[in-house]
Copies of this chain bind each other. A is one copy, B any other.
Amino acid sequence: MTNDKDEIPCPMELAIQLINKKWVIQIIRDMFFGKTHFSEFKEDKPGLSNKVLSGCLKNLEENGLIEKNISDIDGVVDISYNLTDHGRALNKVIYELAMYTLNEDINNKIYDDEQKKEIGEYFRDKLNIDDN
């Protein structure tokens, strides 16, 4: 399953292929945090061009992680993106990535204790992680 010469692919590698592109995870995180529109994904991401963003969204859609919704109400077209179940299943991965940074910030060089607590709660809330 791992790196031996058998034919069984490594499940970690398959997962990585889905998200191992510069902006992809951040976009997915944005969606967990409530963003749905093209222009919203561009906020706070200087350096993310239209071309790259639309490429990412197309890519995510092809991989079944998000879905594109087009509504046309009285001629007002609204395009939004939402996570699919398949995309939402990445919540634990995203959570562990965030926890890694928080836990490894041993001497509070980045966050103080209060911030760590708040951030942890925020992620658990938005990512629907049940505390243990």
Contacts and interface: CB of A to CB of B under 8 A. Distances in A.
Number of copies of this kind of chain in the complex: 2
Interface string A30-57: 1001010000000110000000000000
A15 B100 contact: yes
Interface residues of A, number: 48
Interface of A: prevailing SS: helix
A16 interface: yes
Contact of A101 (B2, B4, B11, B104): B11
Interface of A: 1-5, 8-16, 20, 22, 25-26, 29-30, 33, 35, 43-44, 86, 89-90, 92-104, 110-111, 115, 118-119, 122-123, 132
